[in-house]
Amino acid sequence: MTTRVAIAGSTGSIGTQTIEVIEAENKREPGSYEVTALSAGSSVDTVVEQVRSLRPEIVAMADEAARIDLQRRCPDVEVVADSADLVEVADVVVNGVVGFAGLTVTIETLRAGKRLALANKESLIAAGPVVQPLRDTPGAELVPVDSEHCALHQCLRSSYAPDREVDRLLLTASGGPFRGKTADELADVTVESALAHPTWAMGPKITVDSSTLMNKGLEVIEAHELYGTPYDRIDVVVHPQSVVHSMVEFSDGSTIAQLSMPTMHLPIGYALGYPDRIATPFGSIDWTTLSRLDFEPPDRATFRCLDLAYQAGRVGGTAPAWLSAANEVAVEGFLSGNVAWNAIADVCVDVLERHDGVTPTSVDDVIEADQVARRIAEEIIEQR
């Protein structure tokens, strides 16, 4: 049976790697997967190539000019503005959209009772109280694509009664490009150095988040939302080789870990094939060459964003949405040269100090929280 796949954010890192996984699987077993829908922002040239290669039924383009251009160049495909339209023609929706913009795809996929392969952590973090009830929709499945949460998902499958038996979730962090550096040494960080990740090839926003450990902090919030584990039982450990992707410690002292060489193809394939495993062996380890696995605690004084995420998660309500929005604005400012790297955390601190304590009950509440936090973050950056 052919699995129909929609790829939201098809021109980004997750989107292009999803296509590579599908092509590899179809090479092994022709017709296993069919890409029926794509969405992108404005990268029309790349989308044109994807349309001609994959022949989807529908493509959503956020940018109006790109939408018109795509329809002119690919008259046989239906071109729309709303990425939520992708859900109707898919069995699995891969949400690889970066940032808060991925919320609509998350909500509409779960609401339609489809499987959501979620790489967009911000939509779950910002809208957790709104998204959680939708996970109970008949047929809805949420399978995480983040390497760490995919690892936790696999480890938890080994437990007979996970709620009772799980003692701790341990998220691993590579430490990013600045592991071991002091705050003083990071006073004049360049964009180029922040984007030089030692083990992962990711988009610029996520790569900067990895350099500040905000990425790991947001993953802590996401782990709480995905698995319901209290924050006091979610820990972070730095593991520079990025081979152990996360671990679960059980009540009897046993720890189960998921290991593979660092590649996003594996968690993407896991989400596409779930509950089965795909046949292409992405991330296989050559145990004759893997000489060591190192672990160390994170430097929370230098990388302050990690504890900011714990703080926002414990406050709950719209606090995670405020943090996510403030961080997006601050990272955009850093990438454009308007914010120093070590000021990203400062902006987030200042925004959280003005949090209004609202608990969201609707998507509109989440959108309003995001907009308010962005406006405050922009004001703070202007004042700086």
Position 174 pLDDT exceeds 90: yes
Higher pLDDT, 199 or 368: 368
Q: What was the pLDDT predicted at 223?
A: 96
Question: Confidence class of residue 197 from pLDDT cuts 50, 70 and 90?
Answer: confident
Distance of alpha carbon 80 from alpha carbon 68, whole angstroms: 10
Q: What integer pLDDT is reported at residue 57 of this predicted model?
A: 97
Q: pLDDT-derived band of residue 161, with 50, 70 and 90 as boundaries?
A: confident
Q: Which fold has domain 316-384?
A: Rna Polymerase Sigma Factor; Chain: A (1.10.1740)
> Quick one: pLDDT at residue 10?
97
Tens-place pLDDT, residues 269-286: 999 999 999 999 999 999
* Residue 162: predicted pLDDT: 79
Mean of pLDDT values over 141-146: 95
What is the model's pLDDT at position 30? Answer: 95
- Confidence grade of residue 131 (pLDDT, cut at 50, 70, 90): very high
pLDDT, greater one: 84 or 57: 57
Q: Which ranges in the chain are annotated with CATH 1.10.1740.10? A: 316-384
For residue range 338-350, list pLDDT tens digits in order: 999 999 999 999 9
Cα–Cα distance, 242 to 157 (Å, whole number): 21
Residues 160-180, mean pLDDT to the nearest whole number: 92
Amino acid at 343: A
- 313: exposed, middle or buried (C-beta count within 10 Å: 0-12, 13-18, 19+)? buried
Q: Cβ contacts of residue 379 below 8 Å, gap of 6+?
A: none
Residue ranges, comma separated, of all CATH 3.40.50.720 domains in the chain are 3-144
Is the confidence at residue 201, as pLDDT, over 80?
no
CATH of region 3-144:
3.40.50.720
Tens digit of each residue's pLDDT (9 = 90 or more) over 365-379 = 999 999 999 999 999
Nearest to 96 by CA among 176, 219, 11: 11
DSSP strand pairing (141-144 vs 166-173): unpaired
Quickly state the pLDDT bin for 384 (edges 50, 70, 90): confident
Q: What's the Cα-to-Cα distance from 132 to each of 126, 141, 170, 218, 233, rounded to whole Å?
A: 11, 11, 22, 17, 20
pLDDT digits (tens, 9 = 90+) for 204-263: 998 999 999 999 999 999 999 999 999 999 999 999 999 999 999 999 999 999 999 999
Residue 218's pLDDT is: 94
Region 51-61 average pLDDT: 97
Q: How many Cα atoms are found within 13 Å in the side-chain-facing hemisphere of 129? A: 19
Contact 269, 280 (CB under 8 A): yes
- What is the reported pLDDT for 275? 96
